[in-house]
Amino acid sequence: MRIVSFIRGTELGIAFVSTYMVAVTMLQTSIFAQLRPWAMMVLWPIIAVLGMTPDLLDFLILTMVMMMSFLFWRRGDEAGFGRLFSLNMLLFFPAVLDFSMFNWVNLILPYEPSPLVQEYWVFGVGLILQATYVLLRYTVRFRLLRSEFEERGAEPADVDMVTKGQMSYLIILTLGTIVISIAVYYLTPLMRGAMSGEVTALPYPHVIIGIVGTLLIAGATIFYLRGGGRQPQRGVAGAGQPVTVGPSPPQPS
């Protein structure tokens, strides 16, 4: 099996799984339960033309989003996968609202969360979405990198080996991140109990503390990444040879 076909197949599987999971979750949210009559009204002409019963509204919506997912995958570029991610997040948002502490929706219309899925289910779907986001984001780059190496005259077998390595690395890294995220998710309630006393004693509202904490996280992340990008190259070039950092060099003759 060709490596490019394998990558595209993987992309298709990931796109379908994530869209299906998020669509199924959305269909079980409180907001969708309230919007169902509106959806029925909008989609009625299609239901009537297809000769479907109103019970199959969910199936129709599921089919539509899966088709959209397929079309975005078919484009195969970064913009297509960006739209896929936007679609998934749009479908995911109602599910998250069901588990929020602040019911902002209730300010607009009467809304009382009564989800049919559990919180861990929603969190799991969220992880799938994030994993989809990073996986698709980098598989596109892997394909572009293959083209670059081939144009520079690399052996096809070497390029295949590089792509396999990259795919393995990406999958392992994503799985590792999922494991750590799950650990953080389950450890947070435990830490909350330990830290709530300390945080409550602070003379500032929790919103300010949250914003400051977020900015600190963002700043620290960027600082950390910048440092990581300039790791010294130990003895790379032997006796005091300069090491330059920059774009790719011109192709050799």
Q: Which amino acid is at 100?
A: S
> At its nearest, how many Å lie between another protein and the CB of residue 31?
13
> Rule CB under 8 A: is residue 218 a binding residue for another protein?
yes
Cβ pair 162, 147 in contact under 8 A = no
Q: Is 217 in the site for another protein (CB under 8 A)?
A: yes
Residue 99 within binding range of another protein, rule CB under 8 A: yes
Distance of alpha carbon 62 from alpha carbon 69, whole angstroms: 10
Candidate list 42, 46, 180, 195; residue touching another protein; CB under 8 A = 180
Spatial separation of the C-alpha atoms in residues 83 and 11, rounded to whole Å: 14
Q: Is 253 helix (H, G, I), strand (E, B) or coil?
A: coil
Burial of 205 (0-12, 13-18, 19+ CB in 10 A): exposed
Residue of 134, 171, 195, 199 that binds another protein (CB under 8 A): 134
Q: Do residues 143 and 4 touch, judged by C-beta distance below 8 A? A: yes
Rule CB under 8 A: say whether 108 interacts with another protein. no
Instruction: Based on the shown chain and the rule CB under 8 A, indicate whether residue 233 belongs to the binding site for another protein.
Output: yes
Among 14, 84, 129, 136, binds another protein (CB under 8 A): 129
**Smallest gap, in angstroms, from Cβ of residue 188 to another protein?**
6
Tell me: does residue 77 bind another protein (CB under 8 A): no
* Contacts (Cβ under 8 Å, ≥6 apart) of 133: 85
Are the beta carbons of 21 and 125 closer than 8 angstroms?
yes
Closest approach, Cβ 124 to another protein, in A, equals 10
Measured CA to CA, the distance from residue 84 to residue 81 in angstroms comes to 5
Stretch that binds another protein, among 19-27, 41-49, 167-175, 197-205 (CB under 8 A): 167-175
Among 10, 28, 34, 130, binds another protein (CB under 8 A): 130
Q: What are phi and psi of 177, to 5 degrees?
A: -65, -40
Q: Can you tell me which of 45, 51, 205, 238 binds another protein, judged by CB under 8 A?
A: 238
User: Does residue 171 belong to the site contacting another protein (CB under 8 A)?
Assistant: no
Closest distance of CB 215 from another protein, Å = 8
Give the Cα separation of 81 and 15 in Å (integer).
9
Q: Kindly state whether residue 228 participates in binding another protein, applying the rule CB under 8 A.
A: yes
